[in-house]
Amino acid sequence: MWLNSRGWTGDSPESRRRAEGARLRSELISLGPTFIKIGQMLSTRVDLLPFEYTEELKELLDRVPPFPTEIAFGIVESELGRSVRDLYATIDSAPIAAARLGQVYRARLRTGEEVVVKVQRPDLESRIDLDMATLRHFAPRLQVSDVLKATDWNGIIDEFAAVLADEIDYVREVENAETFRANFSKWNNIHVPKVFHDLSSRRVITMEYIPGVKVDDHAGLRRMGLAPMDVTERLVQAYLKQLLEDGFFHADPHPGNLRVMPDGRLAFFDFGMAGRISIELQSQLVDAFFHIVEKDWRGLLGAAAELGFLRIDPADQEGLDEIGARLIAQYDGLRIGDLTFKDMSEEVADLLYRYPFQIPPHFTFILRALTTIEGIGSKADPDFNFFLVARPHLPKVIF
């Protein structure tokens, strides 16, 4: 490994960085839930890490071993003030899912409703506090790393801490779900599970059980008489509304948080990660979208500066020209149908890493959501293109 890191084995720089990224991913898994989450957030930060590192971090899965059910039931009883037998008519003895922040049980209420009970992992808040303190201790070393981009790493760590604090507060998650429900109250094809507020708290959520199939279960969708691309297009429409009309969006739309119900409705789950954007930012997003559609790369560069992506003096014409020339050389002549978020991230990763680019904190969630949707669409149709699918729906949102 020592020889390889110095390029003495004959491997290409890209191969070495890919191997280093894989080692980083393994280390984060071994360090536990907090670091898995941080790795997932860093997977979109091509402004901070080499592209090969971010690609490896995208393989991080939100799956960890379950903790004992007796501990989970103890948390439920402590939070809700009654025994599990009194709270639920029945509840499974084993979780149906376990993730880095909690696990989920099937249950039935005494009124007959089928529900799921989401229980937070024990001592999670104190573990996260300790992990963040450890990261802050190492922040000065990150500043002088040969691999990581020089940036305000204390600020980045503060950003991670704020995201995690929001995500482990189930009261806030319920509030986010209710906001989302209100925003889509007139959309008959979008559903948010009912939350039972009297059976929910800061560490427990009881919500309606939703049957159905995941958005990427194409065989299941076809058995329901649904075309996978139709479902994906509805997802794109829903995100255009969230980003450009509501200013509030679900920030983690991976297939586990989306389900197509037997009646065809698209259900959204898990609102621990949600983003808010201002009216000004919405307007700037529309401008950037049209710059991309029209292949106006110099206009896009100006929009990037306005959005906070580009840390460069607007008077530095030479610097702007150099970056603009790289963009034009890379993309001029391509059809809009040839552009994808993944390819753009890969192709401009070197630009983001070498030049004074940064991804503003409020944009991390947006990019994560859009690249995730693009991944879902590409699985449904290898020729899926977010810009082409979104373009005909855009006027309905902004006018």
Looking at the annotation, which residues are catalytic? 252
Q: How many CB atoms lie within 10 A of CB 95?
A: 20
Q: Closest Cα partner for 164 from 120, 208, 230, 107? A: 120
Alpha-carbon distance 190 to 268, whole Å? 8
Q: How far is CA 57 from the centre of its chain?
A: 13
Tell me the two tokens of residue 201.
């708290």
Length of the chain, in residues: 399
Query: Can you spell out the DSSP letters for 299-360?
Result: HHHHHHHHHT-B-S-TT-HHHHHHHHHHHHHHHTT--GGG--HHHHHHHHHHHHHHTTB---
Collapse the DSSP code of 204 into the 3-class scheme (helix H, G, I; strand E, B; otherwise coil) and give the result. Answer: strand
> Nearest 5 degrees, angle CA 90-CA 95-CA 101?
125
Give me the residue label for tokens 């007959």.
Answer: 112
Alpha-carbon distance 72 to 148, whole Å? 39
Alpha-carbon distance 329 to 228, whole Å? 35
Q: How far is CA 309 from the centre of its chain?
A: 19
Cβ within 8 Å of residue 195, ≥6 positions away: 174, 177, 178, 205, 206, 207, 208
Q: Is 273 exposed, middle or buried (0-12, 13-18, 19+ CB in 10 A)?
A: buried
Q: Identify residue 325 by its one-letter amino acid code.
A: A
